[in-house]
Amino acid sequence: MNRRRPAFFLDRDGVINKDTGYPYRPSDLHFIAGAPEAIARINALGYLVIVISNQSGVARGYFTEEDVNQFHQQIKRKLKSYQAHVDAFFICPFHPQGSLESYKKEHFDRKPNPGMIEKAIAKFNIDRDRSILIGDKQTDLLAGHRAHIDSYLFDQNNLEHFVISLMKNRWP
């Protein structure tokens, strides 16, 4: 029987990457201060790192799912120099006001719904009771709460400091 592991669920834009308004090109990758170090710290603690990200730019026709995948490959490449890694990326490319008909719909994966979190829990046998979600918007937190995951609003400018503070408060 596989042992269940805890995870850190991280929103992408505004938590890992600076939210510059629909970033998708590899050159749009600008880590939030302390993000790579925070991910390395989370990895070292034995947590999975799962990125969950609404990507309505796909539904709006700004970029493709392949563009999003290329952006995630760039994140993976850049994290290697910090001895850090993301275990999985989950995206929701759908939006009810999208301009591309195939993506124009409400979807259970779109935050504040918990769909991406639930898929990750099932795929990776995640222990939700020991897991944490960090997001920069109320929709992120609501998705976490709906999935019964402890959720925290990142409203600071250094993710590593935030994670250290969280860990101290959780396990003094």
Say if 64 falls within a structural domain.
Answer: yes
| 1 has a pLDDT exceeding 80 | no
Q: Which among 13, 87, 109, 140 is annotated as catalytic?
A: 13
pLDDT in tens, 126-169: 999 999 999 999 999 999 999 999 999 999 999 999 999 998 87
Q: How many domains does the chain have?
A: 1
To the query of whether residue 28 is one of the catalytic residues in this protein, the response is: no
Q: What is the arithmetic mean of pLDDT over 35-53?
A: 97
Alpha-carbon distance 42 to 38, whole Å?
6
pLDDT in tens, 72-90: 999 999 999 999 999 999 9
Say if 112 falls within a structural domain.
Answer: yes
Say if 104 falls within a structural domain.
Answer: yes
User: pTM of this prediction?
Assistant: 0.96
Say if 132 falls within a structural domain.
Answer: no
Q: What is the arithmetic mean of pLDDT over 112-124?
A: 98
Q: How far is CA 68 from CA 28, 65, 166, in A?
A: 11, 5, 29
Among 137, 132, 163, CA closest to 149? 132
Residue 35 lies in domain? 7-127+146-170
Alpha-carbon distance 135 to 111, whole Å?
11
Q: Specify the pLDDT at position 3.
A: 86
Say if 133 falls within a structural domain.
Answer: no
Looking up residue 38, the CATH number of its domain turns out to be 3.40.50.1000
Q: Specify the pLDDT at position 150.
A: 97
Say if 153 falls within a structural domain.
Answer: yes
What would the two tokens of residue 76 be? 């993976």
Say if 106 falls within a structural domain.
Answer: yes
To the query of whether residue 13 is one of the catalytic residues in this protein, the response is: yes
Q: How confident is the model at residue 171 (pLDDT cuts 50, 70, 90)?
A: low
Q: Which among 11, 87, 136, 140 is annotated as catalytic?
A: 11
Say if 135 falls within a structural domain.
Answer: no
Q: What is the arithmetic mean of pLDDT over 101-123?
A: 97
